[in-house]
Structure 1
């Protein structure tokens, strides 16, 4: 169920708290909801887009959160959308018939490549020689020439981050050592137009200065390769990779330092005809999303305290997939309408667990923060990306959470 709520101007989290308490009073079922502050989302993304150098563009990677309401809100703000499947292409085209689309990801099928042509995708990120041959044949059948970026798995060295897509063996991109062979073969593919390179080498990088150095490395090697192989470097896609600090919410990626750092880099390293593309996902949507879930029970098992909530990893899989305790705050609910005792934990460590029949259904571990009672609500912050989108929604057939959009 999707609910859209109109609100006045108040601090972002305060609005969320008020609506959750109102929701608790209005319904008899335990509270379980995703809340997305669309106003905060648009403001956050708009500021990032407006602050970027003129020779760069910011695309939203919709894999982080592809809900229709999110896409509608961001379509007028970003330069376009990055997708990783034909299904995501269709989602974008349902929002806009002409917004620019970048299409990446390994293992593209014939149907996906045909769909990319039919839906007028701007750039296809090609991941292998086989994919180039396949795309050339499909483009020939459609009597078109397709613009592509070659995704290259660079040798590095690259900065450390939570996830590495390059600088080591992965399923992503073309091995850098294969580039001479690929460029030689492309001369025999008349329906392929190489517009540049795509380097998405890492994910969830929190160091702005290191990210500047990474982009500088991308610029230098892409410029040199374009000269070496004799084509105009129209685009350089630096991927996403800008992270979110879930351990310390007050210490996030320093966007201003990053923008200040890349501006002179682009002026020095890239020719004027080159546009630098970014395709951020998590960094754009995480901070404006919340997952709220009511405490159902508090119990001690083998000397360890568990807080059981009305949800779990089937709603919010991010904590278990990244193996961290996700940050949350407690919203105390004073009313208790039942004749029996209200279970609680007070001044003792506890673990937050969901309703699933698996010991891996854990959202946070060994938390020590005051008192938690059945009927209280836990509000998980920075849940606007890779939460609902990656969760196994129908495992055990529990009800889905509500989806609330604050405007």
Structure 2
């Protein structure tokens, strides 16, 4: 393992982060478990950053990939592609967007990049509104609209970005307000900002901020934002890379918690739909999706193999009501973690929805973020046989819990027990 780590450092950039003081190599997985190169088994509560959505080595997906690979692996979008059309039809129908069109990419970053291109071209403006504490990817344009300093290495950008209040409910200048007052204050802030701009193209927002520590506004905030945006002709882009496909339990898409004003103009997706295969995409109103007046293709977006995987994975998710499982098992897990953490002075908040749960750590007796504790809990949980993630706003002090959506009640209890031991130890 040390030899592989040495080789990794010799050929890969320093900023390519690795978890753990002694990084581990994952060699195989099954269901909700993975194994490292030493043969040690772990309960996986992070799923490759919310990407292994159904299960590791799901037979239906591996079979679909193998069968498609045996026929043809690649063709590009220059040729008709039956699996791509079939998956696009299903995504369009599920999106809730009338007369929708779908464009497939290879990642969530590229999906957000495509949405920004479409919105700015449609509106003839390079002005974008984004949320404070947000994360939208690692490309030049996506970094330029990311409101989380930890993940934004440059201030240079092809876009003019203005950051709006509202993504973090329990911190910031409006934290002490009621939900209704919070929404009212954030809408007033948005309205004031739009009054000082010229032709904003779009607002891009994660319904639940992922890298930002699984924070979210009160339900309905983005619906209220949408009504103001419409007054100015601006679009709403819902970044559903982490919240989509039923992970939140209550809804299939995160935007549906803000559904009063209807679906977004553009919706980006990735991660879970491929269950580990590289699929991303953007779905939106035909008027916006068709606005480009230059040629465009995708070499790898919508490849036959990844589309076959996406179709099999989506079919499994819907037929087994994994959204309902996320709601039921996730609800039990959140309540179990809240009961555990109520006794621990170093835990500020347990928050989340479905199987998308954040545990925010602070220095006991203060509201000050405690990234060292989060790193220590991450290590202790791994030592106990549990893999989790971490994130947060100004520092990585939030434990991120997002298991595959097939998680059982017994596995939820097992994971909670391991995490309790790790939290108490730290």
TM beyond 0.5: no
* Structure index of larger Rg: 1
Q: TM-score, normalised by structure 2?
A: 0.32
TM-score by length of 1: 0.33
* Structure that is richer in strand per residue: 1
**Higher relative helix content:** 2
